[in-house]
């Protein structure tokens, strides 16, 4: 549902991403809204790119092998791409 909140550490974020099937490959993490904690935790993960639904481009979606998105981000992304 939501990845924000909690511990802004890479060691807390990495296991959550692996539970979603994202591990050591080009992965795009799409958030519903910016989260400084998630961005800080993701800064040390070289294979992870963090963006928001409103700033996601089609190029980013095609370029990454895996896409992990919050539920709110999926709704916003669908609305943005439907236009």
Residue-wise pLDDT for 1-48, tens only, equals 566 656 778 888 888 888 887 777 899 999 999 989 899 999 988 999
pLDDT for residue 23: 76
pLDDT for residue 7: 72
Structure-model confidence comparison of residues 2 and 51, the more confident one: 51
Query: 50: which strand partners?
Result: 29
pLDDT for residue 59: 94
Q: Do 37 and 5 meet the contact criterion of CB atoms below 8 Å apart? A: yes
pLDDT for residue 15: 84
Residue among 59, 61, 17, 57 at smallest CA distance from 38: 17
pLDDT for residue 28: 94
Written as six digits, the tokens of 50 are: 């963090």
């Amino acid at each position: 549902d939501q990845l924000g909140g909690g511990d802004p550490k890479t060691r807390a974020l990495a296991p959550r991403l692996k539970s979603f099937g994202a591990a050591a490959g080009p992965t795009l993490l799409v958030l519903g809204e910016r989260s400084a904690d998630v961005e800080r935790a993701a800064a040390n993960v070289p294979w992870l790119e963090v963006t928001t639904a409103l700033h996601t481009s089609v190029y980013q979606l095609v370029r990454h092998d895996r896409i992990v998105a919050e539920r709110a981000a999926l709704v916003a992304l669908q609305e943005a791409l439907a236009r």
